A = this chain, B = another copy of it.
Amino acid sequence: MKFGHFSDTAREYVITTPRTPLPWINYLGSEAFFSLVSHTAGGYSFYKDAKLRRITRYRYNNVPADSNGRYYYIKDGDTVWNPGWQPTQTELDSYECRHGLGYSIITGKKNSLTAKLELFVPVGDNCEIDRLVLTNESDAPKSFTVFSYLEFCLWNAVDDSTNFQRNFSTGEVEVEGSTIYHKTEYRERRNHYALFTVNTPIDGFDTSRDAFLGAWRSNANPEVVENGRCTNSVAHGWAPVGVHQVNVTLQPGKSRSLIFVLGYIENPEDEKWAAPGVINKTRAQAMAARYATDAQVDAALARLHDHWNNLLSTYSVKSSDEKLDRMVNTWNQYQCMVTFNMSRSASYYESGTGRGMGFRDSCQDLLGFVHLIPARARERILDIAATQFPDGSAYHQYQPLTKKGNMDIGSGFNDDPLWLIAAVYAYLGETGDYSILDEPVDFDNDHSLAQPLLEHLRRSFGYLRTHKGPHGLPLIGRADWNDCLNLNCFSKEPGESFQTTGPSEGPVAESVFIAGMYVKYGNQFAEILDSTGHTDEAAAVRAEVAEMEHTVLTAGWDGKWFRRAYDAFGHVIGGEECEEGKIFIEPQGMCVMAGIGVDTGEAVTALQSVKDKLDTKYGIVLLQPAYTKYHLELGEISSYPPGYKENAGIFCHNNPWVSCAETVVGHGDRAFEIYKKTCPAYIEDISEIHRTEPYVYSQMVAGRDAATFGEAKNSWLTGTAAWTFVDVSQYILGIQPTLAGLKIDPCIPHEMDGFTLRRVWRGATYEIVVENPDHLEKGVKAMTVDGKPVSGNILSPVPAGSTVEVKVVMG
């Protein structure tokens, strides 16, 4: 069952009923000012940090779902309605929400009045524009009243939702003309305020929530709207809100637009005040003036469209499969960009108040994003690397505002250092910018310890080389990629962190998954060393890698699949001898991606075991059999009910690893089958089961052990986006940026005739045609460049601005 459809030409998902299974959202903004907007205009805005600079108030896990946002009420006679249905839920004569790239358009119609609400954050500005276009579609004049409504957050989202004994006394506003200024705490240490304005004289305003809603009422039935007139209330404490009243009369067939701007302003210390107690509004007025006319808004929208079209032109495919094309060309890349911007901070499942940026998360997100804006990837790499410890280990998380490592969680996630190599290799492959390796980068944010980035990579690899367990496998520390596999922690008390309660070092638990990474990213490190003239060191690294490969195929091999780990007592995790958790997905994908057992047969055997034991119609589950009880020696993984999350859920992030791995052994059919199972466009038809947005990936789909098999959760902010894009763009379609050049090595379903693809790489545009006349799954038998046959399948860089015609014939 569907609740909308894709519009590939407009690059929009069009939702045709407000009654979706869950709120289906979009992200506005891509630099500093961000808004989350649901298909019913719910959501909130923030500046840079969703915890510390929350601009509007949102209530997670509320009833009804998604019950705060930027709302526009229309009182037309006795009927009160919203173009987005919420919060009045007045039935509409027609409804549509179009989520596009950085904008959303929500259109409602009631009693021959159409209200079209366009929402976006302009490129390069710190505000959200809400343009409401009202059209009288009847054949008589219409008079009605529009009320805007949003609720200000008192900036710090955590304090705002807990410290009422203070906060109910601090709220302050100013109103001047059509602009409402939210200035809570500006009188003391804040240098910022918010404004909410509209480009027309207003017929009234309210800034006190109590005055607008009325006692014991909600935003579903505000008293002011019912009465048809604002009270011009000025908030003193309690809950400041922004409400404008605009009375409108429209002749038949006529339209009027109202442009609302929600903005964030910072003032320098010496420019804070216009008069004692009166804020300096100069910058706010200038912002309002930038969006005072439809022409200005149209121009800003055009800039936004250009911005996204430019970004996404870096990689685009044309195949016979429209679902593949729309995911690759639009939605997967779009989600990669959002994930990179947000890390795991603010979604409808991440409250935006917790942890900062993840070391591992950001490195992985970068794999899916580096081709879009390499300069931001460069910056992020240097930020991340600066939180690394001198011994090569790393803070697991860091704060985006301070860029300092997060001491609460600390270090000891032993996969982290290797992800830095992965990120840097991806950046080098994309850009060829070796200068990044010479950048001096702090250790532990201590500038006196700064070393070139290459030295950071050396210590990353070195940390793992010097932290091995009894079987010669890497020590797992607090956890590896699977944060819930806590082999050195033995937590018995509720509320304790599963990750940080135990020691990060000491016990001997080992990870086969990290061993796979060690081989894969060790080889990438060697390649970087070779490319920078460190040939001897490269050889030494490769020797280390070869030794680890052997260890994986002995201590890490269970007979039919790769083991997952050894626990603190030396017992096997993820082996036939285990009662529960006999086989895990992660090492199968990673070890085969690393090339382990490809020549000797274990790779194919392992992937067959995945298919036999872990595959389901909705994706590959993380492990089998699910843990039915809490295992003290395993930690959080066994804390989930069977079939959910890491306990045998379909944890989407690791599915592309297996898909990638299948391409490594040449199984294009199977790789694509796996790709499709979790790919939003291919499962749009089961939205009533899947429930989350059908245009982006979710973190998790309930596994076959769960009562709600197939139900997805935690959409948008997941490493799935990046890894799936790596899978489909590099492993399946096979366009691989490497240090040596752009490698073309498709591994596709045999029935596919081929595809054409445009790839902008190092400033040049490659127009690539792949033909598959023999209907193979893998293999390149011939390649021409600008019509000339070349040997091999690697394209060397050409001058920026060039266009290169590439023809590839599989065989």
Interface residues of A (CB under 8 A from B): 18-19, 21, 52, 59-65, 67, 86, 89, 155-156, 159, 161-166, 168-170, 172, 185, 187-190, 209, 213, 215-219, 234, 236-237, 239, 276-277, 348-351, 353-354, 491-496, 628-630, 638-641, 644-645, 649, 699-700, 706-708, 713-714
CB–CB A639/B187 < 8 A = yes
Find the residue from A165, A215, A349, A354 having the highest chain B CB count within 10 A.
A165
* Across-interface contacts of A649 in B (CB, < 8 A): 169
A643 — nearest CB in chain B belongs to which residue? Answer: B236
CB–CB A188/B639 < 8 A = yes
- Known contacts: A64-B216, A350-B164. The answer to whether A237 contacts B641 by CB under 8 A is yes
CB–CB A708/B237 < 8 A = yes
Q: How many angstroms between the C-alpha atoms of A630 and B172 in the bound complex?
A: 14
* Across-interface contacts of A700 in B (CB, < 8 A): 169
The distance from the CB of A215 to the nearest CB of chain B, in whole angstroms, is: 6
* Across-interface contacts of A351 in B (CB, < 8 A): 161-164
The distance from the CB of A784 to the nearest CB of chain B, in whole angstroms, is: 48
CB–CB B713/A234 < 8 A = no
Q: A162-B353, A236-B707 are in contact. List 20 more A-B contacts (CB 8 A).
A: A60-B161, A61-B161, A63-B217, A64-B216, A86-B216, A159-B495, A163-B354, A164-B348, A164-B714, A165-B349, A169-B640, A185-B494, A185-B639, A187-B630, A188-B630, A188-B639, A189-B492, A189-B496, A218-B218, A237-B644
Say how many copies of this protein the assembly contains: 2
Q: How many angstroms between the C-alpha atoms of A351 and B165 in the bound complex?
A: 9
CB–CB B708/A630 < 8 A = no
Q: How many angstroms between the C-alpha atoms of A641 and B185 in the bound complex?
A: 9
**A-B residue pairs, 9 tightest by C-beta:** A188-B630, A169-B644, A188-B639, A63-B218, A236-B707, A64-B218, A189-B494, A162-B351, A165-B349
* Across-interface contacts of A61 in B (CB, < 8 A): 161, 164, 239
A190 — nearest CB in chain B belongs to which residue? Answer: B494
CB–CB A170/B641 < 8 A = yes
- Known contacts: A61-B161, A706-B236. The answer to whether A645 contacts B166 by CB under 8 A is yes
CB–CB A62/B62 < 8 A = yes
User: Interface SS of chain A: helix, strand, loop or mixed?
Assistant: loop
Q: How many angstroms between the C-alpha atoms of A707 and B216 in the bound complex?
A: 22
Q: How many angstroms between the C-alpha atoms of A640 and B237 in the bound complex?
A: 10
Q: Which of B188, B638, B639, B699 is the one whose CB lies under 8 Å from A638?
A: B188
* Across-interface contacts of A713 in B (CB, < 8 A): 165, 168-169, 237
* Across-interface contacts of A209 in B (CB, < 8 A): 63
* Across-interface contacts of A707 in B (CB, < 8 A): 234, 236
CB–CB A350/B64 < 8 A = no
Find the residue from A61, A155, A629, A639 having the highest chain B CB count within 10 A.
A61
Q: How many angstroms between the C-alpha atoms of A217 and B218 in the bound complex?
A: 13
CB–CB B215/A164 < 8 A = no
CB–CB B172/A641 < 8 A = yes
* Across-interface contacts of A172 in B (CB, < 8 A): 641
A62 — nearest CB in chain B belongs to which residue? Answer: B59
Q: How many angstroms between the C-alpha atoms of A375 and B707 in the bound complex?
A: 51
* Across-interface contacts of A354 in B (CB, < 8 A): 162-163
